[in-house]
Chains A and B, each alone.
Chain A
Amino acid sequence: MSTKPLRVLIIDDSPADQEIYRRLLLENPSYTYDFLEAESGEMGLSLCLSSQPDCVLLDYLLPDLNGLEFLDALGGEADPPRFPIIMLTGYGNEMIVAEAMRAGAADYLPKDLLSAENLERAVCNAVEKYQLRAAVENQRGMLEQTNTELVRKNEEIRSFYHMLSHELKTPLTAAREFVSILLDGLAGPLTDTQREYLGIAKESCDQMTMGLNDLLDVARLDTGKLRIDPRLFNIGVVVQRAVASLTPMAQEASIDLQHRLPLDLPERSFDARRIMQVLTNLITNALKFTPAGGQVIVEATDEPDGSILVSVRDTGRGIAPDQCAHIFERLYQARSHEEVFEGGLGLGLYICQEVIKLHRGEIWVESIPGQGSTFFFTLPPGIDHIPATPEESSEEVSA
């Protein structure tokens, strides 16, 4: 309790009663008091507003107002006062105490049972409780403010990512297109070496594009703005498309890429573009870590619980058990020192995981080092009503 004197406002039409309360409180020397007195409800109300007491002792029966009317005039249930009001009730008023407490009174004491001890205890308890409550309120306000600030900062970072991505993609587009023009012979014939080098330049442009898109997705995930748009679709079609689009990459690396799909896969509700992104990511990883002559198989099956189970199995080098738990973490990259840089920002599997989570599904990996890895994910049935956060126009960037 503070060493500052407690400002106690006594509202009672009897000067004799006022004197009793003062004397009872002063009996305990461990506190100092600063008393204010009012003899009517109206006067009490105006002192409440002008002098911000630490505690109010309120006689229930005043000539102009009763205790309930007084509480009501101060703001009632909707806006209770910031200081405790202890109701002092005369004989026969006990019935109204419940109502008074509901209306915002901190405590009540029957006048005929007053003692130095119980009055002081009531005042001190009430004041402490209100001070704690005020401190909590204060903290809550500060947290709210911090939160608002963080949300704003996040939004700022996200729109910065968008601006950055836009500003980087424009020159990247020009670079890639001029490389394509050269590759297509539109600026004259090329030697094989020139063609090979330009091919590398074009691939690098594509890698940078993927990196930029991953950054955008992570910025959206961080602000809860990555949206999925689930519609009824056949997962088999998505698997076929993903496999078809990566077949050239597989052929280049001499890897046998196949899909195995049952004929009767039912339609399920999911975001086909996002699931295509997940599959592309998983298959690309599988191809990256599988040696020439290896195999990558993509399967989808209809599970007994109504969900779809999709797997991408490779015959690559596998993943050490201690790494399996971490590979879906943001920025995690399985890389040992003797290895060459495989490319990527380490965001791909994190994005896959988050996209699957948005579908209420699960994603995991099973692996035997030296023999290969299988990535699994599930798409549960009935996710038609996932609320989507609308994209905001703040993402719009002007060049």
Chain B
Amino acid sequence: MKKILIVEDDKRIIAALNIRLRANGYDVCAAYDAPLAMTQATAHQPDLALLDISMPGGDGFVVAERLRSNVDTASIPIIFITALKRPDLRERAQAVGAVALFEKPFESDDLVAAIGLALGRSPAGV
């Protein structure tokens, strides 16, 4: 079962993503901030990371950089989810090699499709 790391400082959004992703056949681990994200990444070796951008203690780009510089997580697909609306975020996300960026509120079907695509699943899902 593929494992997804969610890094998001809003616990309700983590809870919702957890339900949604498990329903789609994924294993989920989560972190509320950047430092915890690395602990979780090391402990769980996720196959994909879903990162919020604006978080206390280091934003999503910081987490992305750290994932990239860690041998075990250097090549996992990264998807950003953000409540910020700024044109430069897409470019920055591309620069760290993210496969997608979703604005909050996101369309969960699109998010699940993007995750499936990044993990090499057929667009039809599971």
Contacts and interface: CB of A to CB of B under 8 A. Distances in A.
Instruction: Say whether A and B bind each other.
Output: yes
Given A186-B23, A396-B54, A399-B56, A173 B106 contact: yes
Interface stretch (A7-15, A49-57, A93-101, A163-171): A163-171
Interface string B5-18: 00001101101110
B105 A186 contact: no
A169 B19 contact: no
A162 B15 CA distance: 25
A331 to B, nearest CB: 21
Contacts of A117: none
A173 B23 contact: no
A180 interface: yes
Interface residues of B, number: 24
Contacts of A209: 105
A203 to B, nearest CB: 12
B108 interface: yes
A220 to B, nearest CB: 10
B104 interface: yes
Interface in B39-58: 54-56
Given A170-B13, A177-B20, A186-B23, A227 B87 contact: yes
Contact of B10 (A162, A170, A206): A170
A166 B16 contact: no
Interface residues of A, number: 30
Contacts of B86: 391, 395-396
Given A166-B54, A399-B55, A399-B56, A173 B83 contact: yes
B20 A396 contact: no
A229 interface: yes
Contacts of B20: 177, 180-181, 186
23 contacts: A162-B84, A165-B83, A165-B85, A166-B54, A169-B105, A170-B10, A170-B104, A173-B10, A173-B104, A174-B10, A174-B12, A177-B13, A177-B16, A177-B20, A177-B106, A178-B16, A184-B108, A216-B85, A229-B87, A396-B84, A397-B54, A398-B55, A399-B56
Interface of A: 162, 165-166, 169-174, 176-178, 180-181, 184, 186-187, 205-206, 209, 213, 216, 227, 229, 391, 395-399
Interface of B: 9-10, 12-13, 15-17, 19-20, 23, 54-56, 59, 83-88, 104-106, 108
Closest 9 A-B residue pairs measured CB to CB? Answer: A174-B12, A177-B16, A169-B83, A173-B104, A173-B105, A176-B105, A166-B83, A186-B23, A169-B104
